[in-house]
Amino acid sequence: MTERGAPSLIDVAREAGVSTATAGRALGGYGKVSQRTRERVADAASRLGYRTNGLARSMITGSTQTLGVLVSDVSNPFFATALRGITDVTQQAGFEVLLSNTGGDADAERRALAVMSEKRVDGVIVAPALPSDGAHLARAIELSVPVVQLDRLASGVPSADSVTIDNEHAVAEAVGHLLELGHRRIGVITEADGDIARLRSGNRKRGLLPSAVRLRGYFSALTEAGIPVDESLVGVARYDRESAYDATTRLLELTEPPTAMLCTDNVLASGAYRAAQDKGLRMPDDLSLIGFDDEPWTTLVRPGLTIVEQPTYELGAQAGRQLLDRIERGPGRARHVQLKAKLVARDSTAPPG
Amino acid sequence: MTERGAPSLIDVAREAGVSTATAGRALGGYGKVSQRTRERVADAASRLGYRTNGLARSMITGSTQTLGVLVSDVSNPFFATALRGITDVTQQAGFEVLLSNTGGDADAERRALAVMSEKRVDGVIVAPALPSDGAHLARAIELSVPVVQLDRLASGVPSADSVTIDNEHAVAEAVGHLLELGHRRIGVITEADGDIARLRSGNRKRGLLPSAVRLRGYFSALTEAGIPVDESLVGVARYDRESAYDATTRLLELTEPPTAMLCTDNVLASGAYRAAQDKGLRMPDDLSLIGFDDEPWTTLVRPGLTIVEQPTYELGAQAGRQLLDRIERGPGRARHVQLKAKLVARDSTAPPG
DNA sequence: CTGAAAGCGCTTACAG
DNA sequence: CTGAAAGCGCTTACAG
């Protein structure tokens, strides 16, 4: 947008009768300028309708005051809320946010990261689409673009900061709640793909989607309670409502259906809730259900949904703070912040009927 | 992020044994280069780990391939979904999106617009926080930053394109639906502030928030049906669930309460729905309710909520297309696209009990 | 406090 | 097809 005849610092300097260096200092708030010339320059600038060219400035200062945010889908309430947390914190500090939707596609994420890097963002917050491969993130850090991971940890990026929730603990609490109520056949709806057997045996913290970490939490909570895991109670869905609906229906049609179910995510929970409704089940008598995330609908439905409440906004805000901090301090030992999620018991859970 | 020792085009050129002009042409995909040198330059670039400096490029080409988006709150599902529409269309065309939350504050919007303008965005999509004053938008257009208005029309910006829905028609349909069912005492929950009397008499299309336009639609639909407007049935709320809850409760406690209600927005609708539930009213027998926007919860609750369905994603996508188009074509007569909203009747509306 | 000059890293006419 | 030179609009040492 270098429009025809947009005034430059040269024009302002001439109008004010000073050098461009002085004009720049007066307008940019750096260096020393006398009160008088500052005013004279300001007047000249406003007379000419001068706007600083941020591109030129950034090229010299090495800072664009711009941050990149990479998520799979802003229209997902989880990311929308986290994003609000990010922007509130970073705008406050004078940074703008460049947003990219990856659609959960690792290649799209790589490309977007490259573009942001060419645009010289000062740092990046990313919810890695494919946590198992963080090579592109590691490369960004090498090029001295600070990276903060949000909601999930990629493997192969030892030096990237992160903000996540304690998923294992959160799920343990949820399963514990159901166990206390007396449930023994507890199902789970999850988008975790891949090899369940390996997931059960493994114990790495990185490289997994939250759904997978939560699924593992489910396995270990049951195991610790001495309840053998029944894989027919694991309903794997794609990441959408419809698929969760189908997976739930399948579980409910088992000859020995679960008396309670846990969903590893809010999108899946809404599909599951609907499926239970359509099946004609009364919650919590016929089925206890636990979802994730405290969205408005969870208290609007009857019964109100028992959920694992994530501090979603705070997750984003914290990621923003960490990135600002990292930009200020420069490279260093990675800091991993883990926020607590907590169970909010409502009316969709009760002892098995 | 001009990190120490990041290779520049000069380094690549030297490594490849060509001039920087040639290196630039080979890497940037402009001008003519022979196959052989193109390869040689590409090799040199990858050997050095070269990344184009987009800042320098933009300064010369006059284009940043970046668009600004200004909304009040990304965590509002309406804006989140519209934003997804915007980014899908514009990323596809090679543009990135700079996002700013104004919190509905006109000053914040002005500041954010100024910053984006300094960062030399190629254009801007904005849902004006204060439609009654579009002076800053007009100024942006003068500086040749194309502006597309989303969801609402500011006054004083004759040359800005826009994408909105036909609110008057949408509301007329909703009210018509209730009238057909036999309702005569129809309330409304709205965030429209200001002077209701003036709103009723006026007929300008610009300068109003969607809520206000919808409220006016409600007035005229009733008037056309020969039903006198009862201002005690107009529940004015701030823009949040709690306030909508209170406003709804107030209407329901009238000695002659409405038999049906319309909410001018999804946030307000969720507050109203809850209020009706808490009041112990059975919908639709005791009260018919209509909301806005087809959000997941509206089909999860019982009864399912009758709504005015906006093409939210498409609203954003269309705004994106229009902005791209405007950037390509340059200034010209403003184009105003109006999308249709449609009534989706579900179970929250029925004849008065 | 102020200015002349150099330079950030590219692309663009202009020649060849 | 390729190169030398100018220039985009700023900020930054370096002198004064």
Task: Nearest chain B residue to A119 by CA: give it.
Answer: B54
CB atoms closer than 10 angstroms to residue B78:
23
Confidence of residue A128 (pLDDT cuts 50, 70, 90): very high
Kindly state the average pLDDT of the residues A145-155.
Answer: 96
Measured over the CA atoms of residue A248, residue A252, residue A257 and residue A260, the dihedral's sign is positive
Token duo for residue B39: 């390869």
At B120, which CATH number? 3.40.50.2300
Kindly state the average pLDDT of the residues A254-274.
Answer: 96
Confidence of residue B193 (pLDDT cuts 50, 70, 90): low
Kindly state the average pLDDT of the residues B96-102.
Answer: 97
- Contact, B201 CB vs strand D, < 7 Å: no
* CB half-sphere exposure, B215, CA atoms < 13 A: 27
Cβ contact A299:B301 at 8 Å: no
- Asked if A90 and A184 sit in the same domain, the reply is no
Number of domains comprising chain B = 3
pLDDT at A204: 73
The residues with which A188 forms a beta bridge, in sequence order, are: A234, A262
Of B81, B100, B300, the CB nearest to A75: B81
Cβ contact B290:A320 at 8 Å: no
pLDDT at A199: 76
- Choose the mutation target among B61, B111, B118, B119 for the interface with A, i.e. most A CBs under 10 Å: B119
The residues with which A307 forms a beta bridge, in sequence order, are: A291, A344
pLDDT at B37: 92
Confidence of residue B194 (pLDDT cuts 50, 70, 90): low
Of A120, A144, A300, the CB nearest to B54: A120
Gap between the Cα atoms of A268 and B120, Å rounded: 41
Tens of pLDDT, residue by residue over B13-25, are: 999 999 999 999 9
**Residue B348 belongs to some domain of the structure:** no
Nearest of A341, A309, A316, A325 to residue A150 by alpha carbon: A316
- Asked if B180 and B278 sit in the same domain, the reply is yes
- Asked if A147 and A278 sit in the same domain, the reply is no
CB atoms closer than 10 angstroms to residue B353:
11
Amino acid B128 reads: P
Kindly state the average pLDDT of the residues A87-106.
Answer: 96
How many residues would you count in chain B?
A: 353
Q: B29 phi and psi, to 5 degrees? A: 70, 25
Gap between the Cα atoms of B146 and B160, Å rounded: 7
Q: Beta strand pairing status for A306-309 and B288-292? A: unpaired
Which residue has tokens 């023994």?
A: A184
The residue range of the domain holding B27 is: 9-60
Q: Is the pLDDT of residue A2 over 50?
A: no
- Asked if A193 and A249 sit in the same domain, the reply is yes
Q: Which residues of A262-286 are buried (b: 16+ CB within 10 A; e: fewer)?
A: bbbbbbbbbbbbbbbeeeebebbee
Tens of pLDDT, residue by residue over B289-305, are: 999 999 999 999 999 99
Cβ contact B250:B235 at 8 Å: yes
| Nearest chain A CA: its distance from B199 CA (Å) | 32
- Asked if B16 and B80 sit in the same domain, the reply is no
**A21 CA from D16 C1′ (Å):** 15
Q: Is the pLDDT of residue A95 over 90?
A: yes
How far from each other are the two terminal CA atoms of chain B, in whole angstroms? 67
pLDDT at A1: 36
- Asked if A254 and A302 sit in the same domain, the reply is yes
Gap between the Cα atoms of A36 and A32, Å rounded: 12
Token duo for residue A294: 């405290």
Cβ contact B307:B290 at 8 Å: yes
Mean of pLDDT over chain B:
93
Tens of pLDDT, residue by residue over A204-219, are: 778 899 999 999 999 9
**Residue A29 belongs to some domain of the structure:** yes
Tens of pLDDT, residue by residue over B270-280, are: 999 999 999 99
Q: Is the pLDDT of residue B3 over 70?
A: no
Gap between the Cα atoms of A243 and A204, Å rounded: 28
- Asked if B258 and B277 sit in the same domain, the reply is yes
**Residue A349 belongs to some domain of the structure:** no
- Contact B274/A80, CB-based, under 8 Å? no
pLDDT at B196: 75
Of A1, A49, A84, the CB nearest to B120: A1
Percent of chain B whose predicted confidence (pLDDT) is above 90: 88
Q: Is the pLDDT of residue A202 over 80?
A: no
Q: Is the pLDDT of residue A255 over 70?
A: yes
pLDDT at B150: 98
Tens of pLDDT, residue by residue over A49-86, are: 999 999 999 999 999 999 999 999 999 999 999 999 99
**Residue B279 belongs to some domain of the structure:** yes
Token duo for residue B178: 């209730």
Cβ-based contacts of B296 with chain A (< 8 Å): 241, 270, 297
Torsion of CA A86, A92, A95, A99, to 10 degrees: 30
**Residue B351 belongs to some domain of the structure:** no
- Contact, A135 CB vs strand C, < 7 Å: no
Gap between the Cα atoms of A64 and B305, Å rounded: 46
pLDDT at A241: 94
Measured over the CA atoms of residue A87, residue A93, residue A96 and residue A99, the dihedral's sign is negative
- Asked if A72 and A118 sit in the same domain, the reply is yes
Cβ-based contacts of B118 with chain A (< 8 Å): 51-54
pLDDT at B206: 85
pLDDT at B257: 96
Nearest of A140, A144, A131 to residue A113 by alpha carbon: A140
**Residue B344 belongs to some domain of the structure:** no
- Contact, A28 CB vs strand D, < 7 Å: yes
**Residue B1 belongs to some domain of the structure:** no
4-33 on B, CB < 7 Å from strand C = 6, 8-10, 20-21, 24-25, 27-28, 30-31
Q: Is the pLDDT of residue A134 over 60?
A: yes
Q: Is the pLDDT of residue B2 over 60?
A: no
Gap between the Cα atoms of A143 and A192, Å rounded: 32
Confidence of residue B31 (pLDDT cuts 50, 70, 90): confident
- Contact, A24 CB vs strand D, < 7 Å: yes
Mean of pLDDT over chain A:
93
pLDDT at A193: 67
* DSSP string covering A300-313: HSSSPPEEEE--HH
H/E stretch holding B235: strand B234-236
- Asked if A184 and A303 sit in the same domain, the reply is yes
Token duo for residue B76: 């509002």
